[in-house]
Amino acid sequence: MDTIPYSRQEISEADIAAVSAVLRSELVTQGPVVQRFEQAFAQRHAVAHAVAVSNATSALHLACLALGVGPGSRVWTSPISFVASSNCALYCGATVGFVDIDPATRNLSVDRLRDKLEDAEPRGELPDVVIPVDFAGLPADLRELRALADRYGFKLLEDASHATGASYLGAPVASAWADATVFSFHAVKILTCAEGGMVATNDAALAQRVRSLRSHGITRDETEFEFASPGAWYYEQQALGVNARITELQAALGLSQLGRLDDMQARREALADRYDTLLAKLPLVLPPRRDDRRSAWHLYAVEIDAARTPVRRETAFAALREAGIGVNVHYIPIHTQPYYQRLGFARGDFPAAERYYARTLSLPLFPALTPAQQDRVVSVLGSVLA
């Protein structure tokens, strides 16, 4: 019996041809394909600038640096995310805080954020940057977050690593609300470059800072030089950057995949709709839906409803894996990780996040998932919960 993964990349013949064309060209890195990918991505997401980098972790790190995060800065994010969403602030020497999730959307709670801001303001401990996470592909409450950002003076860095192609209030994520938005192109994401990330923004200066930082903080643009150029070989390092460049090969794959993003999105939506129907009578809390936003459906994460079944998540997880169904758990709350415990966080700090974690399972969802495979997932899950 074949194993069904929780996610899997979809590589077409057109993708292979695009990468092969780069391999036959003169440049396999630092060439024109990266720029074409950036321009196409920016256009698709209705944003002025998009800067491609080696992965989304680097994108978060460089975006924080470009937003001025450094020693003494405070950055707040959601505890239900991959650790990169908070590690990026620590890389810059900042301190990290968390805001509990909304149990319904699984995203950072606007109410809890407002409470935390009201508590922090009189002590002079407001955040410099808040990083909401579009968990599973569902955009966060960006309008309300923008209003709080304007009221309290912090920057909004949207982690849309799950949300390539998602929309909010009729516009693509990255276009209207955040100061910068980060996307991921890991192999299991909506669109893949094998590895890769993007920083999208309407701020030209911020985009230029990210471009410089992704390549050691070096510029070869004579108009930006601080000293007179002695010749065509000259370049200047003007900031302490890193090497976070994406290759032409990765960009070619991403550009090819971007061309069928709508088709892949439609397939994910159809599978999610079918799951909703097939799972409706099981003792589960199904993924949230909101009329004002369109999820990218990176994950189909359910919660086992303890009020309707005595079966624990650990039991269901083990039984599904034993049956060859590659369920997963997204995510272990960041504040419960040993490293973060040593920073002073403790279990019980963010109860909504911990309740969600104790009950959640991510079911297989990817464009090539067949109806027969989906039926098998539902059948085994139903038997386990019964």
Pair 167, 173: CB distance under 8 Å:
yes
Pick the closest to residue 68 from 128, 133, 121, 117 (CA basis). 128
Cα–Cα dist 256/252, whole Å: 6
In angstroms, what CA-CA distances link 274 with 233, 303, 377? 59, 17, 12
Pair 11, 249: CB distance under 8 Å:
no
The verdict on whether 281 is a catalytic residue reads no
Helix (H, G, I), strand (E, B) or coil at 220: coil
Residues 6+ apart with CB under 8 A from 223: none
Cα–Cα dist 53/64, whole Å: 14
Pick the closest to residue 128 from 182, 78, 189, 71 (CA basis). 71
Helix or strand (DSSP H, E) at 303? strand 300-304
Locus of tokens 């977050």: 145
Give the active site residue among 116, 155, 189, 281.
Answer: 189
Pick the closest to residue 283 from 257, 260, 303 (CA basis). 303
Pair 106, 95: CB distance under 8 Å:
no
Pair 128, 75: CB distance under 8 Å:
yes
β 167-168/171-172 pair status: antiparallel
Question: Where are any strands of DSSP class E within 43-128?
Answer: 49-53, 74-77, 95-98
> Which structure tokens are listed for 193?
């470059």
Cα–Cα dist 86/82, whole Å: 8
Q: Looking at residue 243, what DSSP letter applies?
A: B
> Which structure tokens are listed for 210?
């990210």
Q: Which residues are catalytic?
A: 189
